[in-house]
Amino acid sequence: MAKQKPGKSRDQIKNSNQISSLSKRKSQDSIIDRKQKPPIPNEQKQAQLQVGQQFPLTIKRLGINGEGVGFFKKQAVFVPGALPGEVIVAEATKVNNNFTEAKIKKIREKSPHRVAPPCPVYEECGGCQLQHLDYREQLREKWDIVVQAFERHTKFKIEDLDIRETIGMEHPWGYRNKSQLQVGRNDRKVLAGLYGINSHKLVDISNCMIQHPSTNKTTQVVKQILEELNIPIYNERKRTGLVRTIVTRVGFQSGQIQLVLVTAKRELPKMDKLIAEIKKRLPDVHSIIQNINGEKTSLVFGNETIHLEGEEVIQETLGDFSFELSARAFFQLNPIQTVKLYDEVKKAAGLTGCEKIVDAYCGVGTIGLWLAKGAAEIRGMDTIGESIEDARENAARHHIENATYVVGKAEYWLPKWEKEGWKPDVIIVDPPRTGCDQKFLETVLRLKPKRMVYVSCNPSTLAKDIQFLSKVYKVNYIQPVDMFPHTSHVECVIGMQRKDT
């Protein structure tokens, strides 16, 4: 796939002095995380906005959640749907001591990058945040979100960092391989969708633009079957009914579809007729599963899973590797971009075939498998036992004999292995959105492997962790990757090496 360029290259930006100007904005424009605002002096508090007040606002940049950010009397204002460069009339909807939330009343000067979102329920749904922004500009803005994080949370000079252009998709639609839609019913029909922004109204989604077409089709047909058979639909408020969620997943390479019906109880009325109709109308459905979740919770899956029909797993392929996906197994949601992401990890690791690698937060071992052929040895760990079992099975299936996987935290295993005489040359880490555990970071600085590769889904926690690691490591480069087009999310791969190497 060709890379999408989000605007000017880094060298071009340097030549036009734009990077040097970033530091000048730091005192004001980089305040984008509404949960971490500095206290406002008393004289500024006197100028606090009121709910319902309308005021002019120039949007400076995008915030970490994809909203427009402007400043009114030195106070940050967050406006969903507003774009950088636009001049709007805003109306305050929520006023806090350190920031204000507002909505657009009128756009006086429109961004040249504003486009009409193709999704008919875009403004109601909230699943995407940036469909109204041209895709090439989305990539540039995601680059800027990474810049903002390093401006705010580190002491680095932005002009000294090699923050590369965001790697995008050639066709940024229909990329998600998994759909989880809540089920409800109105007076006329069965609905399946997401709850609207700041509401408890279920928005029916008949054709999600970022979902693979097979998941959309499967969900719609299952809705029709549930309606025709009059199978009870779960009512969250009354806690009555049965079917709660329709989960569909497709293997991009295999074409196999897995359907999971999440129900409040184990008993599934008309189950034989239901399965027969699914097989008749959806011949590509390879696996039919029931999951029971009777709890009052926002979690989709419960602890009990029942295999109803077909295979228990579906097949998916990434590069040279094939994976068996069970109903609750974690797998990257965008297979096309995952290959690009893992290739960037391999590039950042700089392998020669002699390295001993630690794959921390390894999950089911996909990153370690991607690197195994270029390394002497891989050792991975994760606190979830089921993930480690899957990692071991994945390694065995692909005849990878230089990979070892254990249950537990890296801060336990790394010192233990060191005492046994084993020390890594490279550490790969792909932590959750909260970032790395502090004890893990301290362990890395004590062991001082030659190189480290950090894969992040949260620029803010990434920047904080990199600042801590900079005591020992220098940043070679930062590579943003757009895993979720039309949303505000951006992934990064950071290559680091010990300063004395």
Tell me if 376 is assigned to some domain.
yes
Asked if 321 and 341 sit in the same domain, the reply is no
> Which residues span the domain enclosing 37?
10-147
Asked if 474 and 342 sit in the same domain, the reply is yes
* Among 274, 298, 325, residue at a domain's last position: 325
Query: What pTM was computed for the model?
Result: 0.87
Count Cβ atoms within 10 A of the Cβ of residue 266 and give its class: 0-12 exposed, 13-18 middle, 19 or more buried: exposed
Asked if 20 and 129 sit in the same domain, the reply is yes
Tell me if 170 is assigned to some domain.
no
How many contiguous H segments (helices) and E segments (strands) does the chain have? Answer: 13, 21
Q: Tell me how crowded residue 396 is: count the other CB atoms within 10 A of its CB.
A: 11
Asked if 384 and 437 sit in the same domain, the reply is yes
Asked if 131 and 224 sit in the same domain, the reply is no
Distances (CA, A) of 424 to 128, 354, 413, 450, 473: 40, 11, 11, 8, 15
Q: In what order do the strands lie in the sheet with 473-481?
A: 403-407, 377-382, 356-360, 426-429, 451-456, 491-498, 473-481
Can you say whether residue 169 is alpha, beta or left, with left for phi > 0 and alpha for psi between -120 and 50 degrees?
A: beta
**Catalytic residue among 125, 128, 362, 457, which?**
457
Asked if 242 and 375 sit in the same domain, the reply is no
Asked if 131 and 187 sit in the same domain, the reply is no
Q: Count how many domains the chain has.
A: 3
Asked if 37 and 101 sit in the same domain, the reply is yes
Tell me if 448 is assigned to some domain.
yes
pLDDT score of 4: 42
**Which residue in 146, 184, 202, 178 sits closest to 10, CA to CA?**
146
Asked if 74 and 198 sit in the same domain, the reply is no
Tell me if 155 is assigned to some domain.
no
Tell me if 143 is assigned to some domain.
yes
Q: Which two tokens stand for residue 117?
A: 């979102």
Asked if 391 and 474 sit in the same domain, the reply is yes
Residue 4 and residue 136 in contact, taking contact as beta carbons nearer than 8 Å: yes
Distances (CA, A) of 422 to 356, 363, 367, 377, 417: 9, 22, 21, 11, 5
Only one residue has tokens 């967050």, namely 78
Residue-level length of the chain: 501
CA 162 vs. chain centroid, Å, equals: 23
Residue 430 and residue 465 in contact, taking contact as beta carbons nearer than 8 Å: no
Here the CATH number for the domain that contains residue 50 is: 2.40.50.140
* Among 325, 355, 385, residue at a domain's last position: 325
Count Cβ atoms within 10 A of the Cβ of residue 48 and give its class: 0-12 exposed, 13-18 middle, 19 or more buried: middle
pLDDT score of 47: 60
Asked if 485 and 454 sit in the same domain, the reply is yes
Task: Return d(Cα 207, Cα 357) in angstroms, integer.
Answer: 43
Tell me if 171 is assigned to some domain.
no
Distances (CA, A) of 129 to 138, 142, 459, 487: 10, 12, 17, 5
Here the CATH number for the domain that contains residue 416 is: 3.40.50.150
Asked if 339 and 244 sit in the same domain, the reply is no
Helix, strand, or coil here: 392? Answer: helix
Tell me if 67 is assigned to some domain.
yes
Verify whether residue 457 is a known catalytic residue.
yes
pLDDT score of 126: 87
Here the CATH number for the domain that contains residue 263 is: 2.40.50.1070
Tell me if 157 is assigned to some domain.
no
pLDDT tens per residue, the chain (501 residues)?
Answer: 434 434 444 444 433 344 444 444 443 444 455 545 444 444 444 467 899 999 999 999 999 999 999 999 889 999 999 999 999 999 999 999 889 999 999 999 999 999 999 999 998 998 999 999 999 999 999 999 999 999 999 999 999 999 999 999 999 999 999 999 999 998 789 999 999 887 888 999 989 999 999 999 999 999 999 999 999 999 988 889 999 999 999 999 999 999 999 999 999 999 999 999 999 999 999 999 999 999 988 899 999 999 999 999 999 999 999 988 889 888 899 999 999 999 999 999 999 999 999 999 998 899 999 999 999 999 999 998 888 998 999 999 999 999 999 999 999 999 999 999 999 999 999 999 999 999 999 999 999 999 999 999 999 999 999 999 999 999 999 999 999 999 999 999 999 999 998
* Among 131, 147, 163, residue at a domain's last position: 147
